Structure 1
Amino acid sequence: MLMVDLIVLMDHENVETIFEIKGDNIFIQNDVFIEAGLIENMAQTCSSIIAKDFFIDENNQDKDDVDVVGFISGIKTLKIHALPKSGSTISTKAVLVSKFITDDYSLCTMNCKTFHNEELLLEGEINLFIQDKNPKR
Structure 2
Amino acid sequence: MSGSKPYIAVGELLQSLIPQKSPFVMVDTLAEYSEKGIVSHFLVEADNILVTENHFSASGLIENMAQTIALHTGYKFYLLKRPSPTGYIGAIKKAEIFQLPKVSDTLVTTVEVVHDIMGVTLVQAKVECNGALIASSEMKTALAQ
Q: 2:131 corresponds to which letter in structure 1?
A: E
Partner of 2:78: 55
Aligned counterpart in structure 2 of residue 7 of structure 1, from 15, 18, 30: 30
Task: Summarize the alignment of residues 84-103 of structure 1 with structure 2, pairs less than 5 Å apart.
Answer: 84-101=101-118
Partner of 1:109: 122
Secondary structure of 2:86's counterpart equals strand
CA offset digits 1:22-76 (Å, max 9, x no partner): 111111111110000000000111222234344342xxxx33xx36432211012
CA contact (8 A) 2:126 2:137 kept: yes
CA offset digits 1:73-130 (Å, max 9, x no partner): 10121111000011211100110011123xxxx2211001101111111011111123
Partner of 2:89: 72
- Structure 2 residue runs without a partner (length 5+): 1-23
Higher-RCO chain (CA-CA 8 Å, sequence separation at least 6): 1
Q: How many residues align?
A: 122
Q: 1:47 corresponds to which letter in structure 2?
A: A
Give the TM-score normalised by the residue count of structure 1.
0.80
- Structure 1 residue runs without a partner (length 5+): 133-137
More strand as a share of residues: 1
Give the TM-score normalised by the residue count of structure 2.
0.76
- CA distance in 2 between partners of 1:125 and 1:116 (Å): 19
Large movers: runs of 4+ above 6 Å: none
Query: What percent of counterpart residues are identical?
Result: 27
- CA distance in 1 between partners of 2:32 and 2:76 (Å): 16
Residue 144 of structure 2 corresponds to residue 131 of structure 1: yes
In structure 2, relative to structure 1, the CA distance for the partners of 1:67 and 1:98 (3 Å cut) is: closer
